[in-house]
Amino acid sequence: MSRAMHVAIVDDEQDMRQSISQWLALSGFTTETYSDGMDAIAAIGSDFPGVVITDIRMPGLDGMGLLKRLNALDSTIPVILITGHGDVPMAVEAMRLGAFDFLEKPFDPEKMMALAERAAKARAQAMEARALRTELADGATMMRRLIGESAVMQRLREDILDIGQADGHVLIDGETGTGKTLVAHALHAVSSRAGRKLVSVNCAGLDEAELISRLFGPSPADSAERPLTDQARGGTLVLEDVEALSEAVQARLLAFINAQGTPPETRIIAVCNAHKQDQTLEDALRPDLFFRLGAHQIVLPPLRAREEDILALFNEYLGQFAEDYGCAVPEVSMPEAAQLLQAPWPGNVRQLVTIAERCVLQSRREDGALMSLIMADNEASGEAMTTEGKPLKEHVEAFERILIDNTMRRHKGSITAVMEELRLPRRTLNEKMAKYGLVRSDYV
Mean pLDDT of all residues in 297-308: 89
73-76 contacts, C-beta under 8 A, 24 or more apart: 73/41, 73/44, 73/45, 73/46, 74/46, 74/48, 76/122, 76/123, 76/126, 76/127, 76/130
Spell out the residues 6+ positions from residue 208 whose beta carbon is closer than 8 angstroms to its own: 246, 248, 249
Which positions ≥6 away from 110 have C-beta within 8 Å? Answer: none
The whole-number average pLDDT for the span 383-389 is: 46
pLDDT at 218: 75
Q: 185 or 282: whose pLDDT is higher? A: 185
Encode pLDDT of 14-36 as tens digits: 989 899 999 888 888 899 999 98
Position 335 pLDDT exceeds 60: yes
Contact 248, 209 (CB under 8 A): no
- Domain 139-301 carries which CATH code? 3.40.50.300
Q: How confident is the model at residue 220 (pLDDT cuts 50, 70, 90)?
A: low
Whether pLDDT at 388 is above 50: no
Report the pLDDT value the prediction gives residue 395, as an integer from 0 to 100. Answer: 63
pTM over 0.75: no
* Mean pLDDT on 198-216: 91
pLDDT of residue 34: 93
* Interatomic CA distance for residues 159 and 188, integer angstroms: 13
Confidence of residue 389 (pLDDT cuts 50, 70, 90): very low
Confidence of residue 371 (pLDDT cuts 50, 70, 90): low
Residue 133: its pLDDT value, please? 58
The mean predicted confidence, pLDDT, of the chain is 83
390 or 330: which leads in pLDDT: 330
> At residue 422, does pLDDT exceed 70?
yes
| Least reliable range by pLDDT among 152-156, 222-226, 329-333, 398-402 | 222-226
The answer to whether residue 267 scores a pLDDT higher than 90 is: yes
Indicate the domain borders of the chain: 6-135, 139-301, 304-442
Lowest mean pLDDT among 20-29, 186-195, 361-370: 361-370
* CA atoms 189, 195, 196, 201: torsion sign: positive
Name the band, by pLDDT with cuts 50, 70 and 90, for residue 256.
very high
For the CA atoms of 139, 145, 146, 148, what is the dihedral angle to 10 degrees?
130
pLDDT, position 149:
81
Q: What is the DSSP letter of 61?
A: S
179: helix, coil or strand?
Answer: coil
**pLDDT of 99 higher than 60:** yes
Nearest to 399 by CA among 318, 334, 339: 334
User: 112-126 pLDDT, tens per residue?
Assistant: 888 998 899 888 877
Lowest mean pLDDT among 128-132, 141-145, 240-244, 380-384: 380-384
What stretches of 138-169 show up as alpha helix (H) in DSSP? 139-144, 151-164
Task: Tell me the CATH number of domain 6-135, given options 3.30.230.70, 3.40.50.2300, 1.10.10.60, 3.40.50.720.
Answer: 3.40.50.2300
pLDDT at 194 over 90: no
> What whole-number percentage of the chain has pLDDT above 90?
26
- For 40-97, how does the pLDDT look when each residue is reduced to its tens digit (9 = 90+)? 988 888 788 899 999 988 888 888 899 988 988 888 899 999 888 777 788 788 888 8
Tell me, yes or no, if the two domains 6-135 and 139-301 fold the same way.
yes
User: Which tens digit of pLDDT belongs to each residue from 125-151?
Assistant: 778 766 655 655 556 666 777 888 888
Give the confidence band of 298 by pLDDT, cuts at 50, 70, 90. Answer: very high
The pLDDT, as a whole number, for residue 385 is: 44
The burial of 287, by beta-carbon neighbours within 10 Å (0-12 exposed, 13-18 middle, 19 or more buried), is given as: exposed
